[in-house]
Structure 1
């Protein structure tokens, strides 16, 4: 048997594929269209691994999906494929509707058609795991309880709305057609192989380039931070043990304001890669105009996942962020390759 991972050349997807193959002999069919944030460099070292079958393609290609599901006798689909950057969704929302809503619909239909051909244990054991975000829940007041799985959906950005729509489709395909789905809603991931448009790798990259470190508004927006390796472990556990139709929140229980994250990154860089002039990287911090509709706070309550399935994060933000900074310092060649001209044009347009 085999698992099918969609979006497996992106940040979380690639980390999951690498983690899976380090833990299991079960092969992975990895389907990715290699958009700007999907990169085969994220899968370095797997090229000659017979357990890793990479397919360049789109989850919107239902004929391709049908063939892959059938030929590889897929027992589980893990859907990481998504457009994920809020700023990009504000600038160009159509791509987010196309990928996160319409392509997810196509993937669900392909999975349902395949599942309907299965019999016995193969049919009973099949799973469709949809990887989503805490942003579908909207924004929290400073003293409000963290998001639980029962929190109502209040998406505030085109990205969040598109992921909320996908979550609803996944739920509907279970309740209407019986498709054995699972959904996870995670907090902000960080770690190796994250494309340098997101806060942590962006700050590291721009700091080392001697450029301003852009911080939106007053920088007091709060996020819960989850090390990507902990997220991968949670997904493996949900796939292994969760009942069909269930939803689990996955969080790191590490709330921090964006400005505090940036200052911590500067402090670690001051220690590990000091500036030639002896000044702190914190002198490069530059506050920029806040983005429209910027959610003030996210926080995840992952106690259900711990209580029912026994998962809890192993990394604190302090341990995970040091690993992350060290990885980027050791992999400058990876950063150079992924920061293409198109990426630089985007950064210049977004942050001036």
Structure 2
């Protein structure tokens, strides 16, 4: 008689192994998802990543040698490469995270966002549709294409107390969010026109370990440790709902495994904070954890990292507030975030303090050479 542990029941280790095709798996959210899939579920993972500036294979060192993990260096815009990968590995599920995702970069150079987020998604939908249509009946029935998107497609809630729901009309503000909105529409069209079984998720702002250093939270941590200014756009009163990336990974697996075909699920952390609150919270945690502060902090009036906060000119078209209503995924799929903002941000700060080598390799540019070596 087999005796299963509670952990094994929880992680479905005795369910037939599935193969999941993950695009953008070397990115921040993608790498968190893959670490979760390999560690806590009974799945094989095929990681497809172009390895642009934000793709970092060192974020996957903990699972890189696992027999259930495979990496393919390829661009989702490459039709032949995607066809070959699908035919070779025969996935049961596709989870599409590959995207250009930085608002400021999209304002300075929108072309890359159109190419990857729109053209790349179109290409992936087409090769996936051809692959799906050729599957045996049972595998075809259980197949899913999961498109991972953002709450930014909904636009700006302004000074209201409203929340984004799955029925909120799209009103994107930046080239980034417009390109993601376009990709969402393509996925829905391929479902309605061709019957491709899809699910879509729109998430709030993620944070946590392995976040690329140009993003707000890691930038503040790293700058503070170096005694550099902590830049905040405008007056810092822009509000975001913050979601710990490992909570997001669990939600994504819930949706692709149990979500209803054709449905959209909003994923949020139930943690609305102004940008100023986020930066101030990080400073307070660093004040507690760092005894030997940079000289300019020690000489400041309060000896606090908050003295480094600097207000800079606001970005064009900056949305004031995003906030997710995540009741649908909670009710239908029994998903709830495990981390509060207070617990998650403390874990995040502690991770960056313990992993200076990871982000210094990126900042110095030395990771580029390491990355090429890993791809050989």
TM-score between the two structures when normalised by the length of structure 2:
0.89
1:111 to 128, 152, 162: 128
1:160 to 177, 193, 203: 177
- Residue 224 of structure 2 is matched in structure 1 by 207
Q: 2:326 aligned with 1:302, yes or no?
A: yes
Aligned to 2:269, what secondary structure does the other structure show?
A: coil
- CA distance, structure 2, for counterparts of residue 133 and residue 342 of structure 1: 31
Aligned to 1:38, what secondary structure does the other structure show?
A: coil
Q: 2:102 aligned with 1:59, yes or no?
A: no
1:142-291 pair list within 5 angstroms? 142-274=159-291, 275-277=293-295, 278=298, 279-291=303-315
Contact 2:100-2:117 within 8 A present in 1 as well: yes
Q: 2:53 aligned with 1:36, yes or no?
A: yes
- Residue 12 of structure 1 is matched in structure 2 by 29
RMSD of aligned C-alpha atoms? 1.3
Aligned to 2:92, what secondary structure does the other structure show?
A: strand
Contact 1:29-1:53 within 8 A present in 2 as well: yes
- CA distance, structure 2, for counterparts of residue 155 and residue 148 of structure 1: 15
Q: Deviations over 1:55-107 (max 9, x none)?
A: 11111111111111111111111011000000000001000000000001000
CA positional deviation for 1:327: 0.3
- CA distance, structure 2, for counterparts of residue 276 and residue 56 of structure 1: 40
- CA distance, structure 1, for counterparts of residue 365 and residue 73 of structure 2: 22
CA positional deviation for 1:119: 2.0
CA positional deviation for 1:23: 1.2
For structure 1, the residue ranges without an aligned partner over 5 or more in a row are 344-352
- CA distance, structure 2, for counterparts of residue 310 and residue 247 of structure 1: 15
Q: Deviations over 1:137-184 (max 9, x none)?
A: 000032331000000000000000000000000000000000001100
> Which one is further off, 20-29 or 153-162?
20-29
- CA distance, structure 2, for counterparts of residue 63 and residue 125 of structure 1: 25
Contact 1:25-1:51 within 8 A present in 2 as well: no
- Residue 339 of structure 1 is matched in structure 2 by 363
Aligned to 2:124, what secondary structure does the other structure show?
A: helix
- CA distance, structure 1, for counterparts of residue 326 and residue 41 of structure 2: 25
- Residue 347 of structure 1 is matched in structure 2 by none
- Residue 62 of structure 2 is matched in structure 1 by 45
- CA distance, structure 2, for counterparts of residue 338 and residue 28 of structure 1: 25
Aligned to 2:43, what secondary structure does the other structure show?
A: coil
- Residue 134 of structure 1 is matched in structure 2 by 151
- CA distance, structure 2, for counterparts of residue 322 and residue 50 of structure 1: 33
CA positional deviation for 1:47: 2.6
CA positional deviation for 1:12: 0.2
Decide whether aligned partners of structure 1 residues 8 and 153 sit closer, same or farther in structure 2, where only a CA change above 3 A counts.
same
Bigger CA radius of gyration: 2
> Which one is further off, 16-25 or 127-136?
16-25
Contact 1:7-1:30 within 8 A present in 2 as well: yes
Q: How many residues align?
A: 343
Q: Deviations over 1:8-54 (max 9, x none)?
A: 00000000000111112321000001100001111112232111100
- CA distance, structure 1, for counterparts of residue 122 and residue 71 of structure 2: 22
Q: 2:341 aligned with 1:324, yes or no?
A: no
1:24 to 24, 41, 63: 41
CA positional deviation for 1:276: 4.7
TM-score between the two structures when normalised by the length of structure 1:
0.95
2:339 to 315, 322, 327: 315
Decide whether aligned partners of structure 1 residues 61 and 281 sit closer, same or farther in structure 2, where only a CA change above 3 A counts.
same
